[in-house]
Amino acid sequence: MSVSVNHCHRHYLGASEPEGLGAETISFLRTEGIPAELRLKSWAGPWGVTLFTSELADGMLKRNAAGEWVLGTIRETQGSPIAHADFVIRGAQVVLVASNTEWRVNRSVATFVRSIEAFHSAFAALPVGTEAGVSVLAASERIDPEAFNTPDGYWQTWVEEFSG
């Protein structure tokens, strides 16, 4: 199910009850939803891809080959429809899975959505020609500090990207 709210297209969980997901996660996906797609302007990323692409467009979550619920993916910005990595819901947490590598992202779907949207907003607010620095991660870090202090976690890769 898709809806535009404040110029941001969002996807919401429909009537299905995904097995194994907690009531808090289901409620958040139904009431708050997730962004349809987030891209970082002037940044191609490691694969020339989206920051986040929702996999909830039809109002239903799908499982990956390992049987985990896929919240969203990192995809090519044009051309191939192949997903490079999956943001999966594991327990209550969000984990990014790419090939044989995993990165813990956030402690819940709600903190993931708030963190990634805060990061996207801070990056989008940079004046044209300004190089992004660690400061674009400040709001996301306040939302889920534990996730930022996870060695080899998803957010640490961004800290390294902007500190290098």
Given this model, what pLDDT does residue 41 score?
73
Q: What is the pLDDT of residue 90?
A: 96
Quote the pLDDT of residue 48. Answer: 56
Determine the pLDDT at residue 7. 46
**pLDDT tens by residue, the chain, 164 residues:** 444 444 469 999 999 999 999 999 999 999 999 999 998 876 655 545 688 999 998 999 999 999 999 999 988 766 667 788 999 999 999 999 998 899 999 999 999 999 999 999 998 888 877 888 888 999 999 999 999 889 889 999 999 888 86
Predicted pLDDT of residue 49: 65
Q: Which amino acid is at 45?
A: G
The pLDDT value given to residue 39: 86
Please tell me the total count of domains within the chain.
1
- Domain range for 43: 2-163
Q: Residue 89's closest CA among 160, 12, 16, 26?
A: 26
Which residues 6+ apart lie within 8 Å of 1 measured at CB? 11, 12, 13, 14, 58, 59
Q: What is residue 45's predicted lDDT score, i.e. its pLDDT?
A: 53
